[in-house]
Amino acid sequence: MSDNYLFTSESVTEGHPDKMCDMLSDAILDAYLEKDPYARVACEVTATTGVITVMGEITSNVVVDIPQIVRSTVKNIGYDGENFEFNGETCAVILAIDRQSQDISVGVDKSRQDNPNLNNMKDEKNMIGAGDQGMMFGYACDETICLLPAPIYYAHKLAKKLTEVRKQNNYLGPDGKTMVTFEYHDGIPFRIDTIVISVQHVEDISKDIIDKCIEKDVINQVIPENLMDENTKILVNPTGRFVKGGPCADTGLTGRKIIVDTYGGMGRHGGGAFSGKDSTKVDRTGAYAARYVAKNIVAAGIAKRCEVQIAYAIGVVDPVSVNINTFGTAKIQESDIVALIKTVFDLRPGAIINHFQMRKPIYKRLAAYGHFGREDLEVAWEKIDKVDELKKHVQNLENKLDSRDV
């Protein structure tokens, strides 16, 4: 039986109010990590008409000029004058910052888990426990070169290109959204059914000029011709007008675009946001690790689709559980894949932090256009450096099964 369906994912530009708040949270995180790699940061931002509020818990011995970081980031995004109402130079910046709870610090600094092997560790940083409880998901599939689902892959590419084009055309504004609907045939992305692009613009510009610009300079530069046909629908600013945008049109909040940040809804999500959180927070670290595991499994040819769940308890070193779903595409039993994961990948928070070098100021550049599948960034969790080891273990497993049959 044929399994044909439509699936849609969206992305937003860095000028979208929610995404601007993500970028501000990560800019503040980076500023602390640049001076203090062991700073504890849990920073959230709200933005509305004329006001940005920074709140959260930050523990560090260094001083960071948060208002200056906020203003420079907002202006670099494009809100640097009066054309689009919000202005990073003149907006109010309100701070509401406290220190991290000592109850959390105890569990993070040195796990109280009853594990005799911890006493023999040479690297004490690997003894840190998870900064909170929770479950994180990672996903990979063979639909695109970076092993992301096709809808979110192209939605991000359109959003990123939209920003590039906007910076070259003074009649376009920072706020923007993209959406791509793929038609799947038997589980394989076959064609693009619909592309939706909404972009902020100045008052005195015609929709015809915007339509032509977006189709010529954005869509045609990003979408391969073979994915579109005469029936593909292209909708640019469907209401016909998008002058009022950014925080003046819609209050922004850190962590409100978690599906945009991950897999566009194709894979599940544990619910925890990434931005503004240092690497001791497993919402971020665990999700990056889960993506790393899933991507290497797909890259090794063990499965065509792979979703990995990792769960942690606060203050505990080892994951509470590791689960996998290959949607019927695996070459070996899923229980054997779980065993492989536990053998090949070290999923303790401290080990992940060290392996991915997550105490560096690398996060602001990830805040927009997705944390995964970033071809423009060389982040450690996107590497497929465990493929050979995984293949070797699979071959050994198959040899054992063959010997039993004999």
Bridge partners of residue 80, in order along the sequence: 87
Mean pLDDT across the stretch 68-94? Answer: 92
Q: How confident is the model at residue 215 (pLDDT cuts 50, 70, 90)?
A: very high
Taking only the tens place, the pLDDT of each residue in 324-371 is 999 999 999 999 999 999 999 999 999 999 999 999 999 999 999 999
Burial 126-156 (b: 16+ CB within 10 A, else e): bbbbbbbebbbbbbbbebbeebbbbbbbbbb
Residue that is written with structure tokens 């929709």 in the block: 207
Top CATH class of 4-11+150-244 equals alpha beta
Q: What percent of the chain has pLDDT over 90?
A: 85
For the cut 60, the answer to whether the pLDDT of residue 118 exceeds it is no
For the cut 50, the answer to whether the pLDDT of residue 1 exceeds it is no
> Domain 134-144+281-405: which topology?
GMP Synthetase; Chain A, domain 3 (3.30.300)
DSSP 189-226: EEEEEEEEEEEEE-TT--HHHHHHHIIIIIIHHHS-GG
Helices 66-77 and 17-35 cross at an angle (nearest 10°) of: 130
pTM summary value: 0.93
In angstroms, rounded to a whole number, what is the distance separating the alpha carbons of residues 142 and 332? 17
Is 113 in contact with 312 (CB distance < 8 Å)? no
For the cut 60, the answer to whether the pLDDT of residue 248 exceeds it is yes
Question: Which tokens in the block code for residue 315?
Answer: 């203050």
264: CB partners within 8 A, 6+ apart:
9, 10, 11, 149, 151, 152, 155
pLDDT at 101: 67
For the cut 90, the answer to whether the pLDDT of residue 221 exceeds it is yes
Question: Which tokens in the block code for residue 351?
Answer: 């080990």
Tell me what the pLDDT averaged over the chain comes to: 92
Q: How confident is the model at residue 34 (pLDDT cuts 50, 70, 90)?
A: very high
Amino acid letter, residue 155: A
Higher-scoring residue by pLDDT: 299, 102: 299
In angstroms, rounded to a whole number, what is the distance separating the alpha carbons of residues 20 and 260? 13
The ranges of the chain annotated as CATH 3.30.300.10 are 4-11+150-244, 134-144+281-405
pLDDT at 114: 45
For the cut 60, the answer to whether the pLDDT of residue 115 exceeds it is no
pLDDT at 279: 95
In angstroms, rounded to a whole number, what is the distance separating the alpha carbons of residues 70 and 18? 14
Taking only the tens place, the pLDDT of each residue in 153-165 is 999 999 999 999 9
Q: 114-118, 167-171, 397-401 — which is least confidently predicted?
A: 114-118
